[in-house]
Amino acid sequence: MKIICVIPARAESTRFPGKPLAMILGKPMVRRVWENCKAVSMFAEVYVATDSDAIRRACEDFGAKVVMTRSDHDTATGRLCEVASRIEADLYVMVNGDEPLLTEEAIVQCVPAEIPAGTLYVSNLMTDFENPVEVVDATNLKIVTDANDRCLFISRSPIPYPKGNMDYVYHKFVGVGAFNRAALDFYAQTPRGPIEKIEENDSFRFIEHGVPIYYYNCHCKSLSVDNRKDIEGVEAYLKHHS
């Protein structure tokens, strides 16, 4: 099975312009993500997908392969679809460019042993919330799955609601996903549904149409960078665990 990794890197972030090139202990964030992905031996290649010449130049300077994409993509998955239309593979693993702490051991947990023929395959990673305050933070996506790891619902609200008891470990989204080409074709050809629009989460492109998404708990440290303040937390973690 040929597996490639794609790191979407968009320059025009509303909350953090130029985020992929933000420096973390002397390295651009996109380089730290790329280095972690390059450590995964099962990846045939790792690409950075961007619409920015500045990001392209920076990535090429440290040796990354870059795919230039259109600038009108609303989602990272849309950017991945464009890459998939140009580079053939059996499985595409997307690692968000704002996840600089994800290790090789965490990333590979979304890769299946095999993909049944004729199916749409989509999987993602999640991890346990460490701080109860994070659960009520709307910037963190909460994941609920069934006993077979199939996603039931995703929300920025704290779900499930703890009415019966508090004996529950909440799970948060980790920015790694795996898709086969059939799933990406379905995504590109399917319009946004009402839940996707209201939650602004494109995983519902699949869920609203009965396509299963599997979420695997990688039990990893995940600090996604949404603003400049988050850089401090990432640097503190790296210094402590160096």
How many independent structural domains does the chain possess?
1
Query: CA-to-CA distance for 213 and 153, rounded, in angstroms?
Result: 10
Q: Which range scores top for mean pLDDT: 9-13, 121-125, 228-232?
A: 121-125
Query: CA-to-CA distance for 30 and 100, rounded, in angstroms?
Result: 8
The label of the residue with tokens 């919330």 reads 129
Residue 75 sits in a domain whose CATH number is 3.90.550.10
Q: Give the model's pLDDT for residue 105.
A: 94
Do 122 and 178 form a contact (C-beta atoms < 8 A)?
yes
Residue 118 sits in which domain range? 3-240
177-200 confidence digits (pLDDT tens): 999 999 999 999 999 999 999 999
Query: CA-to-CA distance for 202 and 215, rounded, in angstroms?
Result: 15
Task: Indicate the average pLDDT of the chain.
Answer: 94
Q: What is the pTM of this model?
A: 0.94
CA atoms within 13 A on the CB side of 136: 3
2-57 confidence digits (pLDDT tens): 999 999 998 877 677 889 999 999 999 999 999 999 999 999 999 999 999 999 99
Query: CA-to-CA distance for 90 and 71, rounded, in angstroms?
Result: 26
Q: How many residues does the chain have?
A: 242
Query: CA-to-CA distance for 65 and 222, rounded, in angstroms?
Result: 25
DSSP secondary structure of 206-226: HHTTT---EEEE---------
Query: CA-to-CA distance for 124 and 96, rounded, in angstroms?
Result: 11
pLDDT, average across residues 146-157:
96
